[in-house]
């Protein structure tokens, strides 16, 4: 009798579901920190954003990223900066991170002199535009309003193969927004924004051991439960916020090798 074992390969190919971190460098983390805006935009000073930028610098450099920060960028400077970064050789990097701190609206982010569609900045790093990041995670963290709606909250009871493959050009992106579409995003003038402070805290605590979506779920949990707005402006007090994660990642992402 010939028995054919269906379990000839007992060692699981776990790596096929995890991004390869075995590169000389984890990669670059680019921060665009916009605080002051031209009067014509009608946008106020974003007090507290420097604390966000400082937090991000510390957190991501501790994880092992090479940091690059640019302050008060116009729309064309933002576009040029990211285009330049996308044209660099990332073949020795495991991934790429971009943190955008600015005013925004649904689908838009502000430079100091006006706004640009976020999609225009994201597409710079698409697989067909940035070859050295193909198949690698590209993470965007966006601290900006996505509208003017406010969330008053609700009371709740406490409780690989070797052959070349074609992959979609939009694959391997993760967009983590500070708030859901249409909504306001809160920022404390002293401590920075709810989202970035929570992101940095969770990355510092769990960045070396949890998968990115687990970490981001903990960020959601912290922002949702630990923060509530305090304001003298009518209708702005006691408001809540929930971040929003859009993942096109195709594998699990652990920052450590």
Size (the chain), residues: 257
> How many whole angstroms separate alpha carbon 193 and alpha carbon 200?
11
Which H/E stretch holds residue 50?
Answer: helix 49-63
- In the 8-state DSSP scheme, what is residue 111? E
> How many whole angstroms separate alpha carbon 20 and alpha carbon 97?
16
CA-wise closest residue to 241 among 177, 192, 191, 189: 177
Name the catalytic one among 29, 98, 103, 130: 103
* Rg, Å, the chain Cα set: 20
Task: Assess whether 103 carries a catalytic annotation.
Answer: yes
Quick check: 100 and 142 in contact, CB under 8 A? yes
Query: How many Cβ atoms are within 10 Å of 251's Cβ, its own excluded?
Result: 17
* Partners of 183 in the β-ladder: 149
Q: Which residue has the tokens 């007992």?
A: 10
Name the catalytic one among 29, 98, 145, 200: 145
**Chain centroid to CA 59: how far?**
13
CA-wise closest residue to 142 among 251, 252, 245: 245
Quick check: 183 and 145 in contact, CB under 8 A? yes
> How many whole angstroms separate alpha carbon 57 and alpha carbon 71?
13
2-10 LR contacts (CB < 8 Å, sep 24+): none
- What positions carry a catalytic annotation? 103, 145
């Amino acid at each position: 009798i010939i028995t054919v074992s269906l379990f000839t390969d007992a060692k699981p190919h776990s790596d096929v579901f995890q991004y390869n971190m075995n590169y000389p460098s984890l990669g670059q983390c680019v921060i665009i920190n916009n605080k002051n805006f031209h009067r014509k935009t009608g946008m106020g000073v974003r007090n507290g954003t420097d604390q966000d930028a400082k937090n991000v610098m510390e957190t991501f450099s501790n994880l092992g990223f090479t940091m690059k920060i640019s302050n008060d960028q116009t729309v064309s400077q933002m576009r040029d900066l990211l285009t330049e970064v996308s044209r660099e050789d990332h073949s020795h990097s495991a991934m790429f991170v971009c943190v955008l701190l600015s005013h925004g609206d649904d689908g838009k982010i502000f430079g100091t002199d006006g706004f640009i569609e976020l999609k225009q900045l994201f597409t710079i790093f698409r697989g067909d535009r940035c070859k050295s990041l193909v198949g690698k995670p590209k993470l965007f963290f966006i601290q900006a309003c996505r509208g003017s709606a406010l969330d008053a909250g609700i009371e709740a009871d406490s409780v690989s193969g070797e052959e070349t493959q074609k992959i979609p050009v939009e694959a391997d992106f993760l967009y983590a927004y500070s708030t859901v579409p249409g909504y306001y995003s809160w920022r404390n003038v002293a401590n920075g924004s709810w989202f970035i402070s929570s992101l940095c805290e969770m990355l510092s605590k769990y960045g070396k051991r949890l998968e990115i979506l687990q970490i981001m779920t903990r960020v959601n949990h912290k922002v949702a439960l630990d923060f509530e707005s305090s304001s003298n402006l009518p209708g702005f007090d006691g408001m809540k916020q929930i971040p929003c994660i859009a993942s096109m990642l195709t594998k699990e992402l652990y920052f450590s090798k």
